[in-house]
Amino acid sequence: MVLVVVMGVSGSGKSTVGSLLANKLGWKFYDADDYHSDPNKLKMAKGISLTDQDRIPWLGELHKIIREGLTSENIVLACSALKQLYRDILTNGEGNVLSQKVKKEDFLASRPFYVHLHGSMELICQRLERRKGHFMPSALLQSQFDILEPLSAPEHFMIINVEKSVSEIVSEIE
């Protein structure tokens, strides 16, 4: 089974691109935002950036969900996955990354393919300011750019500029 993680800062189009890609491929779609705890959502809504300690349990839960799902279906996950640590937790599980105890049953059967939706701070900020009903305010965007760690080998990835249309982006990923 295959896991595609559509990643990037808030407002880059992860949910839109991920859901359209999954629909087009006939794959299961998960939006990581749906799994944030209420305290995390409240914290972000107040304009407070999440810490690693806030994110790690959320990423560990996402790992469990995708590990179980990949036993029977291909998955597209929309998730910020901003740091290497976060991507490692998605792939290997929280316990395997944060401790010396390795549980091979926690590893994903295959390595994820990351699609980084990349764009300028100005463009993405404009998108965030137009978005209604989301807990992530544009005031936190700079903090996401600040912690973003570029993808690198041995990760499997592609980087796509979000100035393209959604349909162009989805076609490029396919």
Q: How confident is the model at residue 110 (pLDDT cuts 50, 70, 90)?
A: low
User: 3-class secondary structure for 56-91?
Assistant: HHHHHHHHHHHHHHCCCCCEEEECCCCCHHHHHHHH
pTM above 0.85, yes or no: yes
What is the pLDDT, as a whole number, of residue 114? 97
Give per-residue pLDDT as tens, 26-58.
999 999 999 999 999 999 888 888 999 999 999
Task: Specify the DSSP element, H or E, that contains 30.
Answer: strand 28-31
pLDDT band at 109 (very low <50, low <70, confident <90, very high): low
Q: Residues of 115-150 as b/e, b for ≥16 C-beta within 10 angstroms?
A: bbbbbeeeebbebbeeeeeebbbbebbebbeeebee
